[in-house]
Structure 1
Amino acid sequence: MGYGTLDSVLSFERSNVPPSGSLILITDTLSSEGNFLIHHFIANHLKENRHVVLVGFNQTLSHYQAIGKKLGIDLSQEKSKSLFSFIDGLTSFYCSNDTSQSTADTDASSISQSSSPIEDNLRKFYVMVKEVVAEHPVGSAVSLVIDDLSTLLFAGIQVEAVLRFVKNCRLLIEKNGGSLTLLVHGDDILMHDINYELFVKSLMYQSEYILSTRGLSSGYSRDVSGDITIARGPRNNDTSYRTASWHYKTLDNNVQFFAKGHSAGI
């Protein structure tokens, strides 16, 4: 379940899952995709019988199922036990038509005052997420995972609306004692856009943990997939938590992490 070497670096206090109410932000780049971290957190939550709601903008359910099997989890079985729910992000976002329900929801109405169809879809989409979370037992530590949040910006939604969506998702999850895990892209070419930079930095400011993957500055390497930095976010009050930076190598059913300049696992 998950990647043991990554657990030793993160050093969560209980059962290798993030503390209740925390936001874990994953930033990646085209040359060093951070999807393996998404799979890590899903696997660890399910191992501890934590409820997981996965919003997949990036991949289909079959993709997550295939990776899950390599990590020793059967998402279909977890779904049958009511521990796992999947929302097909793009399909659900563009096909939601229940306008009356979305406008009646107080939290959804606070996401954006815009009357544009696409931001109205975001309000409806939040209601859908809220309903799926509510399907799990009250107090069952439901954790929400969104892969990846950048898609909403690429769809044309304003930064402010997406950030309010995140705020509402966090409040929703805090009520359930779970955690919120987000993946966004942090490529330099994107960060040159002032609005996108504001978006990523705002998410960082709200985070307890920030995991960032980047390609090697020296270019492609057969033995190393990239760099990963794990840092304490501004909302994390554990001042003893220290930033760690490692090289990593993705394998078929595992990821190796090791100190820079070394090839042995940590």
Structure 2
Amino acid sequence: MDHRPSNLLDEALGLDHHHQTKGRVVLIEDCVETSGAFVLHHLIKRSLSLNTSGVVIFVAFSQPFSHYDRILRKLGCNLVVQRDNNRFFFFDMLMLESPDVDGEKTSEDWLVSLYGKIRETVEANAQPEDNRNRVTIMTDDVSLMEVAANGSSNHVLDFLHYCHTLTSEFGCSLVTLNHEDIYTSMEGPTLLLQMEYLADVLIKAEPLATGLATDVHGQLTVLNKEIWDGQRSSRKKVHNFHFKVKENSVECFYPGSRT
């Protein structure tokens, strides 16, 4: 039985051998104990693979370009080359200046400006008639976007809704990473619930229910809300498997499949 991570994870995500499914919204949720960043790295590599002409627009709040370049090189993907070839567009938000006294207006303004830049990049690169040319918009930490927006979840939601419209207008995909556990003590985590509602695919990275293990780093639950069965009807599908993050890959496997 083939346990290659790309096959298991891609199958769960509903990806085919050539490109991402058109116009999908993917939400990755993780926690302090179990990071879901490796899914983001996998999707970057997948979107920029040699048998596609995909383009990635990456909005970084958590880590600089050098961090992702180092990780993706280990996975066999050179982000410097992809950037020079206009396939990887990196928006570094780590140096974003803190909002001033008029913080609410300022946070809204930079989010509007950021969306404008993303839309311009999508318009310049999206080719709806070419099924291979998929634009994927990614952001690595929605919670830090909320911090940068002076705590305004409404402004962040507006921004994500605007990005969501691009998936139907241009056929691009939207991938976001957020930390589920920061909302556990809050009443009515509107931002998280709204993001889960928008998502076509929800991925949860969690620690093992049985506790720590040396050969397993955690478990993934993938809820794919729309799986076409070939007869123009859709159904929900849930995948559960374990994973182990290695130096230059991630191994995914079903529980009980390893001896």
TM-score, normalization by structure 2: 0.83
In the alignment, does 2:242 pair up with 1:247? yes
Q: Which residue of 1 aligns with 2:25?
A: 23
Q: Deviations over 1:181-228 (max 9, x none)?
A: 1111111x5222125x22111111111111110112333221111110
Structure-1 separation of matches of 2:170 and 2:45:
19
In 1, are the aligned partners of 2:126 and 2:172 still within 8 Å (CA)? no
Q: Which residue of 2 aligns with 1:160?
A: 154
Where do 1:45-56 residues align within 5 Å? 45-47=47-49, 48-56=52-60
Shift of 1:170: 1.6
In the alignment, does 2:186 pair up with 1:193? yes
Q: Which residue of 2 aligns with 1:105?
A: none
Structure-1 separation of matches of 2:80 and 2:236:
36
In the alignment, does 2:214 pair up with 1:222? yes
In the alignment, does 2:61 pair up with 1:57? yes
Structure-2 separation of matches of 1:205 and 1:66:
33
Q: Which residue of 2 aligns with 1:144?
A: 137
Q: Which residue of 2 aligns with 1:117?
A: 106
Query: SS at 1:55's partner residue?
Result: strand
Structure-2 separation of matches of 1:141 and 1:169:
15
> Which has the higher relative contact order, 1 or 2, with Cα contacts under 8 A spaced 6 or more apart?
2
Q: Deviations over 1:75-108 (max 9, x none)?
A: 11112221111110232x4389xxxxxxxxxxxx
Which residue of 9, 28, 31 maps to 1:6? 9
Q: Which residue of 2 aligns with 1:73?
A: 77
Structure-2 separation of matches of 1:2 and 1:217:
21
Q: Name the structure with the higher strand share.
A: 2
Structure-1 separation of matches of 2:127 and 2:73:
28
* 2:83 aligned partner, one-letter code: K
Structure 1 unpaired stretches of 5+: 97-113
Query: SS at 1:25's partner residue?
Result: strand
* 2:110 aligned partner, one-letter code: N
In the alignment, does 2:94 pair up with 1:90? yes
Shift of 1:60: 0.9
Structure-2 separation of matches of 1:2 and 1:67:
16
In 1, are the aligned partners of 2:223 and 2:237 still within 8 Å (CA)? yes
Structure-2 separation of matches of 1:95 and 1:125:
15
Q: Which residue of 2 aligns with 1:99?
A: none
* 1:226 aligned partner, one-letter code: G
Structure-2 separation of matches of 1:212 and 1:240:
19
* 1:202 aligned partner, one-letter code: Q
Structure-2 separation of matches of 1:191 and 1:128:
33
Aligned length: 241
Structure-2 separation of matches of 1:95 and 1:177:
34
In the alignment, does 2:193 pair up with 1:177? no
Q: Report the CA distance shift for 1:33/1:115 in structure 2 as closer, same or farther (over 3 A).
A: closer
Q: Report the CA distance shift for 1:115/1:186 in structure 2 as closer, same or farther (over 3 A).
A: closer
Q: CA RMSD in A?
A: 2.5
Shift of 1:16: 5.6
Which residue of 193, 197, 200 maps to 1:205? 197
Runs of 4+, deviation exceeding 6 Å: none
TM-score, normalization by structure 1: 0.81
Structure-2 separation of matches of 1:207 and 1:16:
22
Structure-1 separation of matches of 2:184 and 2:200:
21
Structure 2 unpaired stretches of 5+: 229-233
Structure-1 separation of matches of 2:166 and 2:22:
12
